[in-house]
Amino acid sequence: MNRTALHLKILLPLLILALGAAGMAALIKSRQPPTREAPETLGALVEVLEVRRADHPLRIQATGTVQPRHELSITPQVSGLVVEIAPEMLAGGRVAKGEQLFAVEDVDYRLAVERAQAALARAELDLATVEGQARVARAEWERLNLDGRQEPNPLVLFEPQLANARAGVGAARAQLEQARLDLARTRLSAPFPALVRSAQVERGQYLRAGSPVATLIGTERAEVVVPLPLEDLALVRVPRSGGTPSGSPAEIRLTLGERGFVWRGQVVRSLGEVDERGRMTRIVVAVEDPYNLRGTWPATHPALEMGSFVQVEILGETLPRVMSIPRTALREGDQVWIADADDRLRIRAVDVLRREPQSLLIGEGLQEGERLVLTHLMGAAEGMKLRPRAAETQTP
């Protein structure tokens, strides 16, 4: 190997290493440091509701028990043996207005009418006889008392006898009317469309006058007695003489199994007293045709039977220009959370006018168009960054 080849063999690797080191140094020297960037804070994801002012009709929730508007105890006014009885005259039977319920034997009462008629005829005959005698006596007295200056004795002119005869006719007529009335009372009829609540009368039974034998309840109207707090009473229209002509409308709800049924009603009066223990007043809601005998309600509706425990929703007065928000949006201390224009959390105190089952009515503390935070946040603080998302429903 010559000397030149040896030198190349030694210098060439050294040259390659030197060029690599120079290139590495150049790369290191030209390297730029990375730009420092602050991490972006997205904020807590929350649902928001845009609040609006509107007139809000108040719906007052209550409960009550259905009871009949009319309830009547059937009591015969004459005694006798029951000879006729209606097939519906048993518990649960329905009777129409004017339908005969039962009748007692009337033979004695028809005979009493005939005796009274005969007594009246005799009394009228006596009156006619005395009237004739009185005319004859008057004529005789006028013929004898020619100067006309002397007053006759009333007995001479049959005046007392005439008054007695007229009284006898009046008494006979009264006895006849009484006998006819007793005869009519042997048949008892329903005074209104009714349901027989109870009956203790059978054919062949002897009834004594004044002893109750049955109870009827009216089917034309039912009533629900609803207890209310005193503050709610001021929100309900109650008819008063010389004042409010009609009461607040109401809905009566009854749940049977998994099905719910609704009847419309109306407030008709207040019972005018306050319970001393609960400080509750009571109003009455009327429901027409509770047994649906006139087809007022859908055919699928059951009867609104007496004694049923029902839910009542009364449509009260309307509050003008208030905001309705979900109950879940209210925080401790009557405060709410607001997402401001910069998506920052703001804590605001509000004036709660009324608390309803699913919502709250707010008077002051919120501005129209503000975004109300519905989501609950752990460790929420003023100015906290938010990531708002519109709620699925825009009304509570």
> Looking at the whole model, is its pTM more than 0.75?
no
Q: Give me the CATH number covering residue 342.
A: 2.40.420.20
- Are 371 and 273 members of one domain? no
User: Which pLDDT does position 132 carry in this prediction?
Assistant: 86
Out of 269, 299, 318, a domain closes at 318
User: Which pLDDT does position 242 carry in this prediction?
Assistant: 64
| Positions in the chain short of pLDDT 50 | 394-396
User: Which pLDDT does position 274 carry in this prediction?
Assistant: 87
User: Which pLDDT does position 395 carry in this prediction?
Assistant: 47
User: Which pLDDT does position 231 carry in this prediction?
Assistant: 84
User: Which pLDDT does position 244 carry in this prediction?
Assistant: 61
Residue 143 inside a domain? The answer is yes
User: Which pLDDT does position 155 carry in this prediction?
Assistant: 73
User: Which pLDDT does position 150 carry in this prediction?
Assistant: 64
Tell me how many domains the chain contains. 3
User: Which pLDDT does position 277 carry in this prediction?
Assistant: 77
Residue 396 inside a domain? The answer is no
Out of 184, 199, 216, a domain closes at 216
User: Which pLDDT does position 116 carry in this prediction?
Assistant: 95
- Are 303 and 353 members of one domain? no
**Structural contact between residues 377 and 384, judged by C-beta atoms closer than 8 angstroms:** yes
Q: Give me the CATH number covering residue 311.
A: 2.40.30.170
- Are 119 and 182 members of one domain? yes
Residue 23 inside a domain? The answer is no
Residue 61, amino acid: Q
- Are 79 and 137 members of one domain? yes
User: Which pLDDT does position 241 carry in this prediction?
Assistant: 72
User: Which pLDDT does position 35 carry in this prediction?
Assistant: 64
User: Which pLDDT does position 200 carry in this prediction?
Assistant: 92
Phi, psi of 355 (to 5 degrees): -105, 115
- Are 305 and 232 members of one domain? yes
Domain limits at 309? 61-68+218-318
